[in-house]
Structure 1
């Protein structure tokens, strides 16, 4: 059953909150594991009474293209409305490279030696 535009927007907002909370809040992440229905409801996702909820912490299938994780999740949610079994893909927390940049790399990021986009007295 396809979601209306408003229902889709509401679902996407709740799903986004659930993913961000799973990445940044240990208590929410633990609740997601122990009681996924309560955690997802807390994030703003409507789960009908009597529905089964399963959380899949694997990353989405990359071969599905650009915005695959979101489209894949919307399809799973729509399928859950028919079957009564909801599967939620909560990707693993992205890893951020925290190694320090050299001064040369920082200069390149900031635009190098020039102060503006055109040659002038302060850039030469």
Structure 2
């Protein structure tokens, strides 16, 4: 089954809500592990009563494996076969390494390399 653009947008919004809840609430993350159907329903994702649900926390390597497109495909497949897989990775880790003195000097001196195309704000 292929979702309509409206259904896809609604699913992506609800899936995003589930991700944010899992990352920001240990309580929600535990409910997701213990009763995924109920936790997903809290996020707006209602699943058929007779379906199975797997929550995958370790995302396979690959350029598309953690993408929303893959999750949409898995959801569409679940609508067809009754087995849903939701990829909800652990909380993303942010590199908290401090800037070096030379990094700070470059920023303070305005030595910033712009990554956008030349425009009035970069020239």
Unaligned runs of 5+ in 1: 119-124
State TM-score, norm by structure 1. Answer: 0.79
**2:70 maps to which residue?**
72
Q: Mark the CA change 1:74 to 1:60 in structure 2 (over 3 Å): closer, same or farther.
A: farther
Over the aligned positions, Cα root-mean-square deviation in angstroms equals 2.3
How many residues are matched? 114
By how many angstroms is 1:37 displaced?
0.5
Structure 2 residue aligned with 1:29: 29
Q: Distance in 2 between matches of 1:69 and 1:46?
A: 21
Counterpart of 1:121? none
Structure 2 regions of 5+ residues with no counterpart?
A: 112-120
Choose 86-95 or 32-41, whichever is displaced more. 86-95
Q: Which residue of 2 aligns with 1:122?
A: none
SS in 2 for 1:64: coil
Specify the structure having the higher radius of gyration (Cα): 1
